[in-house]
Structure 1
Amino acid sequence: MPTPRPAPGSYLRSPIGLGRAAVALLGLVIAVDLFAVYADLVLYDVTGDLLDGASAGAAAGRLDDANSLNTVAGGIQSGALIACAVVYLCWFVRVRANAGVFAPDTQSMKPGWAIGGWFVPFVNLWYPRRITRDIWDASSPLGARRSYLLVNAWWTLWLLSLVGDRVGSAQSTDADTVDGTHAGAYALMISDALDIAAAALAITLVLRLTRMQHAKALAGPGIPAGA
């Protein structure tokens, strides 16, 4: 059976620059999330004091400050996430295109899903992981034992952080009581902590895939190369 060939016009492009930029912005996301965890903790502490019987008048100023801190943290998080998502997707599209050159037969999804898979409802719960696994297969050295532990751990933590964020945001938005705000702050704190762990694994994933593709491009004869 003949070996599948890359699509006409396909060629390798270095993922190193985009990989470094994605890693830097993932690091920024981690730093911002750490600040958000602190803001969540402050709100959780203030509302906890109120639940324990602290005077509402005495805690009013602290509660206002805690809410303001959370608003600032949420705004910074949104900005960092958008910037990181744009660069990460550029890197993801690049490594997916390279995977199509290395081993087009291992790519189960069309190239357009490298972007669309993140945004289409429902399928975005598993398409990005599936595409990442396909890229991992294509980028692995020939004959190497393949393990998806890193991919699966990263994706699991990412999904859990999204669920925690939805729960925490809903509780905080709908909370008319101190108890509701307290529970929302706790859920957001867990979500932000999970996001830190997911971002840390994403950094490892970006570095691994980038290095694998660079090494395979240098070592693989017969692979078309381009700038």
Structure 2
Amino acid sequence: CWRGPAAVPEVSMTQPDPFAPPSGAAPRETTPATPPATAPAAPPQPRFGAYAPPGHTPPSAGAPPVPAGWAPPGPAPAAPTGLATAAVALAVAWCAIQVVLLAASFQAVAPYEAALAAGGSLLEVSTPYDELGNLLLPLQVAAFVVACLWLQQCRRAAVVLSPTVRQVRGPVWVWLGWAVPVVSLWFPFQVVRDVRAAVVGGRTPGRLGWWWACWLVGLWASNQAAFSSLGLASRDPETIPVFEGLATVAVVAGGLLWVGLVREITGGLRARLAPVA
């Protein structure tokens, strides 16, 4: 007789866990991961005005506070107050002689014209205007040497005080920038601008550009007057007072601006460093 279909055994759909411990074994303990060690935070680096002796604060409101425990690399520089005083005195003397030179140029026109009418050379003519020109030349050389010495020490201090403020021109251009042709039209301006930025901070003031413009105009006008008085230019001697007048305005205005820059930069150094003569 028919007994019906044979019973089929049930198949379990659940697979054994391959990671499960064998029966009777203790569960495996897991060790928590050790968090990575964090490096100590680096001390804040100064961005401007890197050094101030105890009891002093940076003179500019735009300078950030000095980090605690920071010290300059090497001995602290000194404020060149003595050179600054000499630079200011020579600049004032330069301006004073330039004003007298302008007055004397009017009286030199007649002797120059007489020498040219007689077929002579202007080099043979001696007037108070010529004597003042001979006096002004060594004064200009002295002013150049003192100003460069002052600027050189200020630049050294600026590099120590604010190492992150870029000095576009190297130390040699403190001296050569005024004498090398072509680059003398802007290299000295960049040196003074960067030194002031490192010592005082803030944006470049407009008077810095006016000072340099006065220097260039005064230099050009003085040279034109000198060429005419020496007979090196085919101009009428009456043009000499015109050039001297333009040179006087530029020299006096530029001299006043230069005195202000010297005092500002030296004052910024004196507020942060020990002044020396």
Report the TM-score range of the alignment, normalised by the length of the smaller protein. 0.7 to 0.9
Larger Rg: 2
Deviation of residue 96 (structure 1)?
Answer: 0.9
Q: Which amino acid aligns with 2:229?
A: S
2:160 pairs with 1:95: no
Per the alignment, residue 195 of structure 1 pairs with: 251
Deviation of residue 104 (structure 1)?
Answer: 2.4
Aligned-residue identity in percent: 25
Q: How does 1:134-145 map to 2 (within 5 A)?
A: 134-140=194-200, 145=202
Deviation of residue 184 (structure 1)?
Answer: 2.4
8 Å CA contact 2:88, 2:259 repeated in 1: yes
8 Å CA contact 2:73, 2:160 repeated in 1: no
8 Å CA contact 2:80, 2:153 repeated in 1: yes
Render the CA deviation track for 1:98-157: whole Å, top value 9, x for unaligned.
11111122222222221121222111110110111111111115xxx4232121111110
2:122 pairs with 1:26: no
* Stretches of 4+ aligned residues off by more than 6 angstroms: 4-7
Deviation of residue 7 (structure 1)?
Answer: 9.3
- 2:141 equivalent among 82, 95, 98: 82
Render the CA deviation track for 1:47-83: whole Å, top value 9, x for unaligned.
8xx8xxxxx7xxx9xxxxx951111110111121111
CA distance in 1, matches of 2:143, 2:150: 11
DSSP 3-state at the match of 1:11: coil
The TM-score, its normalising length taken from structure 2, stands at: 0.64
Per the alignment, residue 154 of structure 1 pairs with: 211
Deviation of residue 173 (structure 1)?
Answer: 2.8
Q: Which runs of 5+ in 1 are unaligned?
A: 51-55, 61-65, 219-224
CA distance in 1, matches of 2:233, 2:265: 47
Per the alignment, residue 72 of structure 1 pairs with: 131
8 Å CA contact 1:114, 1:131 repeated in 2: yes
Deviation of residue 42 (structure 1)?
Answer: 2.6
Computed over aligned residues only, the root mean square deviation of the Cα atoms, in angstroms, reads 3.3
CA distance in 2, matches of 1:15, 1:68: 40
- 1:185 equivalent among 238, 241, 249: 241
Q: Cα gap change, 1:95/1:175 in structure 2, threshold over 3 Å: closer, same or farther?
A: closer
Q: Cα gap change, 1:30/1:158 in structure 2, threshold over 3 Å: closer, same or farther?
A: same
- 1:43 equivalent among 108, 121, 135: 108
Q: Give the paired residue count.
A: 205
2:224 pairs with 1:167: yes
8 Å CA contact 1:168, 1:184 repeated in 2: yes
Q: Which amino acid aligns with 1:197?
A: A
CA distance in 1, matches of 2:157, 2:87: 17
Per the alignment, residue 207 of structure 1 pairs with: 263
8 Å CA contact 1:170, 1:184 repeated in 2: no
8 Å CA contact 1:172, 1:180 repeated in 2: no
- 2:173 equivalent among 81, 92, 113: 113
Per the alignment, residue 272 of structure 2 pairs with: 216
Q: Which amino acid aligns with 1:27?
A: V
8 Å CA contact 2:82, 2:276 repeated in 1: no
Q: Cα gap change, 1:164/1:207 in structure 2, threshold over 3 Å: closer, same or farther?
A: same
8 Å CA contact 1:12, 1:97 repeated in 2: yes
Per the alignment, residue 221 of structure 1 pairs with: none
Q: Which runs of 5+ in 2 are unaligned?
A: 1-43, 51-70, 119-124
Deviation of residue 215 (structure 1)?
Answer: 1.4
By percentage of residues, which structure has more helix?
A: 1
